[in-house]
Amino acid sequence: MRVSLFVTCLIDAMYPQVGVSTVKLLRRLGVEVDFPKDQVCCGQPAMNSGYHDAAREAAAALIKAFAGSEYVVGPSGSCVSMIRHYYPVLFKGHPLEKEAKAFAAKTFELSQFIVEVLGKDDLNAHFPGRATYHTSCHMTRGLGVVDPPLRLLRNVRGLELVDLPHREDCCGFGGTFAVKMADLSTAMADEKIDHASEVGAEYLVGSDMACLMHLGGRAERRGESIKVIHLAELLEQGTRPERLEESGGPARGAAAPGDSAASTRAKGAGRL
């Protein structure tokens, strides 16, 4: 099986380690990964600000970049939600309508792909600590992906996963919302961090780096010890060979650990 990585703007520019973790994790699951270098922004910032023509222009370039891909996987529920649900609307009646629908159908958020396409929810990962999971708005309400990341986390050896109180509440980022309504955005982030502290979490895990950037920045300003970590990073670290040895070897049916197998090589991942 071959997957093309949709890295997203924020990860590409500011958190490349999340893209690297995504590639390594997929390789360990026996997936061949490539990286179309012509990919651009999905158009969500323009779309959310009402600039639909600009969003369509960016989306058309992205569709073209991934035209030859079998599957497209991104470590962001928010950006994948934009592609899945808004591309068919954005291109309705447009010459690219068919291509937009096909692109939407083959694009998956990382945990969704692992659980629903690969059929794996136990990667035999080992990651000691106490963690709670932030369910981001766009991923849960927009994309409709709720259970896959939790299924993966519940099967991580050594990880104590605790429920986040009021986890359905927004973290306060919301893209331009954080800029236009900074005081309210900050208060929402504080509330989310307070809830994570209440349950004694060492790690706040999420599937969208925009949320984690917002929450991590606020936690740092407050002097909190809680660490934010993307799901891809946690699972990649937890499936490294040394961690697998601690937990008793690879999961049944999983690919052997390692990043150099010829059948799972990454092509063109220069920006990662």
pLDDT tens-digit series, residues 151-207 = 999 999 999 999 999 888 898 888 778 778 889 989 999 999 999 999 999 999 999
- Give residue 248's pLDDT: 59
- Give residue 181's pLDDT: 85
- Give residue 231's pLDDT: 98
- Give phi and psi for 107, each to the nearest 5: -105, 130
Pair 114, 148: CB distance under 8 Å: yes
Q: What is the pTM of this model?
A: 0.87
Which among 252, 201, 246, 209 is positioned nearest to 227, based on CA atoms? 201
Cα gap 154→163, rounded to integer Å: 11
- Give residue 249's pLDDT: 54
- Give residue 76's pLDDT: 96
- Tokens 């970590």 belong to residue: 229
List Cβ neighbours of 216 (8 Å cut-off, separation of 6 or more). 204, 227, 228
CA distances from 144 to 81, 105, 135, 241 (A): 8, 14, 11, 33
What is the separation of C-alpha 30 from the centre of its chain, rounded to a whole number of angstroms?
19
E strands along the chain, which residues?
A: 2-5, 32-34, 71-74, 107-109, 126-133, 157-162, 203-206, 227-230, 266-267
Pair 205, 221: CB distance under 8 Å: no
- Give residue 247's pLDDT: 58
- Tokens 């306060």 belong to residue: 172
Cα gap 103→143, rounded to integer Å: 15
Cα gap 57→53, rounded to integer Å: 6
Helices 182-198 and 209-222 sit at what angle, rounded to 10 degrees?
A: 80
- Identify the segments of the chain with pLDDT beneath 50: 251-272
- Give residue 245's pLDDT: 65
Q: What's the burial of 191, exposed, middle or buried (CB within 10 Å: 0-12/13-18/19+)?
A: middle
- Pairing mode of beta strands 32-34, 203-206: unpaired
- Give residue 242's pLDDT: 77
- Give residue 175's pLDDT: 77
Cα gap 242→6, rounded to integer Å: 28
